[in-house]
Amino acid sequence: MPVLFELQYNPPTTFFAELLGKDALWLEQHEHYHKQTYRNRCLILTAQGVQPLTVPVVDGNRSEKVLIRNLEIDYRQNWVYRHWRTLQTAYGGSPYFAYYADYLHDIYVQKFPLLFDLNLTLLQFYLRCLRLRLPVEFTTDYHPTYASTAVHDRRDWLTPKSPTNPEPDRTSVRPYAHTFGASFVPGLSILDLLFMQGPAAGSFLA
């Protein structure tokens, strides 16, 4: 059965764990943008604790009326520099930051006009890194709900509002060591797992 997700910015590890054993990944491209979600936000771990990184969008106050496929990134704010500097500070000393840094930096400096295209390019990179080989397809129109036999609907299943309080049936990620702190922190971006575990990252998805 395929699984349906909204397209997210540097998705959490649980997003990728949910892809295991699925026939295909469907990406919603006909919804309206939702604020304060993983669509333009990810969570990383810094010396000060969990920190969100948010991609600003054009006309933020009216953005929820815009189709996600048409939502523009606001480059009037120097967010690319801030995000990259934060990643360097948080993960520069991690085992595999240098392994992925050049590839990621090349994506960021392309300055994609649309959030959807940035997120899609990042997603394709992460799928390759994790060796997740499943077809990626896009919705052709919007459906509020789907028959349970058609697709496993996971839209808005993951939220940055409660990343450490997963649902009982939420796919787990095997704990691993972080750069900061002694305890495992769930809900972090896939970047955290990649920077810490490198090519072995896929084996932590369960």
Mean pLDDT of 35-40: 95
Tokens of 172: 């787990």
Residue 193 parent element (H or E): helix 190-197
Instruction: For residue range 136-149, list pLDDT tens digits in order.
Output: 999 999 999 998 88
Q: What is the CA radius of gyration of the chain?
A: 16
Q: What is the pLDDT of residue 65?
A: 85
Burial class of 25 by CB neighbour count within 10 A (0 to 12, 13 to 18, 19+)? buried
Q: Is the pLDDT of residue 96 over 60?
A: yes
Q: What is the pLDDT of residue 169?
A: 45
Average pLDDT, the chain: 93
- Range 44-57 average pLDDT: 97
Say if residue 132's pLDDT is above 90: yes
Query: Which carries the bigger pLDDT value, residue 168 or residue 26?
Result: 26
Cα 51 from Cα 73, distance rounded (Å): 20
Domain count, the chain: 1
More confident residue, 161 or 192: 192
Q: Which domain holds residue 86?
A: 3-204
- Residue 172 confidence (pLDDT): 76
Q: What is the mean pLDDT of residues 25-35?
A: 96
- According to the 3-state scheme, what is the secondary structure of 158-181? CCCCCCCCCCCCCCCECCCCCCCC
* Model pLDDT, residue 33: 94
